[in-house]
Amino acid sequence: MTRIIAGELGGRRISVPPTGTRPTTDRVREALFSKLESANALRGAAVLDLFAGSGALGLEAMSRGAASATFVEASPAAARVIQGNIKKLGLGANARVVKERALQYVRRTNDEFTLVFMDPPYDIAAADLGEVLNALGETLPPEAQLVLEFSRRATLPDWPGTIAPVSSKDYGDTVLHFAHTLPGDGQNS
């Protein structure tokens, strides 16, 4: 079990899949959401939680004022856990689960997300993660915020020209990479 750290649902416990996921630690989530709140990136946000696992990142965002969240998870067991967490927290129609691979979902969606969390398996191939980043860069509206949680020891693909990296912060083996989409053709104005 893990918990929602702060906001309207702060202190509420959520379930995590028994295997196959690596939940973001409370310490890393607190640092992440502190940064997002100070940047005013949460209030009213349309959140996309890719490689969602338990859904902890999207659920935390909703607790702290995000308007909606879409949780994309390929594992049927993990998708069921997320659905159960949404029901338990009473989030209803503002939260939805999509059981699909991240790349396929990003390529087909027309939704305009303003905040994207990506917490892929640390052993994902750099080329596969790069494809997801490229698809996000082509799909997201300008100035959408992205947060990629990844291992310090893993190879990070190059950011596409449509996404500008902003900063990175290490938390042990975990690194949070912050970025945003660029306006227009991906060139700085």
pLDDT in tens, 110-150: 999 999 999 998 889 999 999 999 999 999 999 999 999 99
In eight-state DSSP terms, residue 127 is H
In eight-state DSSP terms, residue 92 is G
Q: Tokens representing 143?
A: 């100035």
Q: What is the pTM of this model?
A: 0.93
Q: Tell me, rounded to whole angstroms, the distance of Cα 149 from its chain centroid.
A: 8
- Residue-wise pLDDT for 15-34, tens only, equals 888 766 677 788 899 999 99
Please tell me the predicted confidence (pLDDT) of residue 188: 40
- Residue with tokens 């939805």, as numbered in its chain: 96
Domains annotated for the chain, with CATH where assigned, are 2-17+26-181 (3.40.50.150)
Please tell me the predicted confidence (pLDDT) of residue 1: 67
